[in-house]
Amino acid sequence: MHGPPEPEELAASAAEFARGAGGILLGLFGKQVEVDYKDSGKTDPVSEADRASQAFLTRNTLARYPGHGVLGEEKPRDEAAARAEGAQAVPDYLWVLDPLDGTKNFLNGLAVWGCSVGVLRKGKPVAGAIFTPELGVTAGTVYRAWAGGGAWRGDHAIQVATEEKPTGRRISSLPGTYLTQFRPTGPLKQSGLGEVRAPGSITYELALVARGGLHYALFGAPSIWDVAAGVLLVKEAGGLPLVRRPGADLWDPFEAFYPEDDSPKSLDLARRWRRPLLAGNPSLGRFLAQNLRKVNRPTFWLRRRR
């Protein structure tokens, strides 16, 4: 009788699946694809590429691990099918998929996007992989990590950047809506946030943090599929993912998306996870967390800065 799969095996499978989905995405990148929108304002697109990638990932995951669950960002188009999927119980092993993170970048021809495959065991990330396009690498790049096994970019071990304070010599990422969500205080207000970018793909950014390409990254309210693989990648690369405690300007080391003994009763409940997240090396992360404040009245604060 077979026991539970080892994290290294799960990471290898996640990398294989991410690579396959990445190939589908690269084949569609730069072409006209069908696009729908999840909102009436048509600001949240879901494309033919998102759906093709998720279908591939779901099919391959369930074929190899039939007793596991799958939570993908994209719900079925049919409402009855979406309700039935959302009502499914959450098993011990849950594969959390972001088939295409950075859809707007993808649709506009900007090669800053990623595909994320994270594996949770009772709410805790144990393996994951991220595919990203990369200049000069025709087939793209796959990052992978597993609990206790380090973080890898292809066959090379990676680690987070080591500088302990923000610096203009390094680039970092903040959400485009940073000014409406956070403000620096104390030493951080004096030193500044460093050289800042807003790349537009959380998955891509977490991969860059893990390999030291980004000094740190701050996310205002990512969803579980945005970060399921990336938080483990950063942690195994020597970093410290931090999540903001609800209702307080306190940040805790990320350990799991939900307590092992209090897991969500359905996939719909599991997909509700959203928390501010900060990723970088441990010293830098703690420095930022101690000196960042959540903005409770964003419109008032913006009015004062004008």
For residue 207, the domain's CATH number is: 3.40.190.80
Beta carbons of 254 and 231 less than 8 angstroms apart = yes
**Do 138 and 177 reside in the same domain of the chain?**
no
| pLDDT value of residue 297 | 52
Greatest Cα-to-Cα distance within the chain, rounded to the nearest angstrom? 67
| pLDDT value of residue 300 | 43
| pLDDT value of residue 139 | 86
pTM higher than 0.95? no
**Do 110 and 217 reside in the same domain of the chain?**
no
**Do 196 and 121 reside in the same domain of the chain?**
no
Tally of domains within the chain: 2
| pLDDT value of residue 274 | 95
For residue 47, the domain's CATH number is: 3.30.540.10
**Do 35 and 76 reside in the same domain of the chain?**
yes
**Do 184 and 143 reside in the same domain of the chain?**
no
Domain that holds residue 227: 171-305
Buried/exposed code over 109-124 (b: 16+ C-beta within 10 A; e: otherwise): eebbbbbbbbbbbbbb
**Do 12 and 140 reside in the same domain of the chain?**
yes
**Do 38 and 149 reside in the same domain of the chain?**
yes
**Sequence-distant (≥ 6) Cβ neighbours of residue 79 within 8 angstroms:** none
**Do 65 and 146 reside in the same domain of the chain?**
yes
Residue after which a domain boundary falls, among 94, 126, 155: 155
Whether residue 2 is contained in a domain is answered as no
**Sequence-distant (≥ 6) Cβ neighbours of residue 3 within 8 angstroms:** none
| pLDDT value of residue 181 | 83
**Do 185 and 269 reside in the same domain of the chain?**
yes
Residue after which a domain boundary falls, among 155, 190, 213: 155
Per-residue pLDDT of the chain (306 residues; tens, 9 = 90+): 477 899 999 999 999 999 999 999 999 999 989 888 887 777 788 899 999 999 999 999 999 999 999 999 999 988 999 999 999 999 999 999 999 999 999 999 999 999 999 999 999 999 999 999 987 778 899 999 999 999 999 999 999 999 999 999 999 999 887 778 888 999 998 888 999 999 999 999 999 999 999 999 999 999 999 999 999 999 999 999 999 998 888 999 999 999 988 889 999 999 999 999 999 999 999 999 999 988 865 454 344 444
**Do 54 and 13 reside in the same domain of the chain?**
yes
**CA trace torsion 263, 218, 220, 92 (10° rounding):** -10
Question: Of 89, 50, 83, which is closest to residue 70 (Cα–Cα)?
Answer: 89
| pLDDT value of residue 53 | 97
Q: Across-strand partners of 223?
A: 274
Residue after which a domain boundary falls, among 121, 155, 189: 155
